[in-house]
Amino acid sequence: MDTLWTDFVNSEWHDWRGSGRSENRLVLTAWQDAFLDKWKLEAPVPAMGQEIDEMQTFRRHLHRLAAELAAGGSISQTDREWLNTMMAPGLVRRHLDGDEQAMRLFLSPVGNDWRQVMAEVAADFAKTLLEGESLRIRICENADCKWVFYDDTRNRTKRYCDDKMCGNLMKVRRFRARKKAEMKKET
């Protein structure tokens, strides 16, 4: 399951195949456009230098919090205060929609800058915490990948961001390591 906050955190991409290559997609105009469009947010593109710096700092902090939760930790009071600070600039407009049987309250961002975007990302992360879903936050066990993901499996045992990519790669690596160890024993 893709969430706003995981999509933002994963803008720091690492080659899951082990080449050591990485890419800071946060600075790419094409990534910014696609991200804003996907999540129906508005901000000037391309983001400017100071905005990029703030977003990178924000991303690092959010990744650290996700890693702590994935390791079984919890959010400290200082981290809660930081999240509140990040959400503060995020003004929203509320409106009711639907019929009597299926009314919903919608919150629409009022601002159209990168601080509003970060506030929405922080709010999405906070929503994950409030819904008790922090136990489902994972970091891919492929050390080359480092992808943050939400474990949407029933038994909460997902180990890789994608079973077909990282999962298969790690299975092949384990198989080859076993075969190599067996060959060494035979010699």
Tokens, residue 118? 């970060």
Q: How many CB atoms lie within 10 A of CB 36?
A: 17
- With 0-12 / 13-18 / 19 or more C-beta atoms within 10 angstroms meaning exposed / middle / buried, residue 95 is exposed
What pLDDT, on a 0 to 100 scale, did the predictor assign at position 181? 72
What pLDDT, on a 0 to 100 scale, did the predictor assign at position 81? 97
What pLDDT, on a 0 to 100 scale, did the predictor assign at position 116? 96
Strand-pairing partners, residue 12, are: 24
What pLDDT, on a 0 to 100 scale, did the predictor assign at position 5? 95
For residue 86, what are the CA distances in angstroms to 54, 64, 115? 11, 15, 8
Return the CATH number at 145: 1.10.3300.10
pTM: 0.81
DSSP 96: E
What pLDDT, on a 0 to 100 scale, did the predictor assign at position 142? 76
3-state helix, strand, coil split of the chain in percent (to 5) is 50, 15, 35
Could you give the CA distance from residue 181 to residue 186 in angstroms, rounded to a whole number? 9
Could you give the CA distance from residue 129 to residue 36 in angstroms, rounded to a whole number? 23
pLDDT by residue, tens only, the chain of 187 residues: 689 999 999 999 877 666 767 789 999 999 999 999 999 999 999 999 999 999 999 999 999 999 999 998 999 999 999 999 999 999 999 989 888 888 888 888 888 999 999 999 999 999 999 887 777 888 887 777 888 888 877 777 776 666 666 656 556 666 666 767 766 777 7
Tally of structural domains, the chain: 1
Range of the domain at 155: 4-186
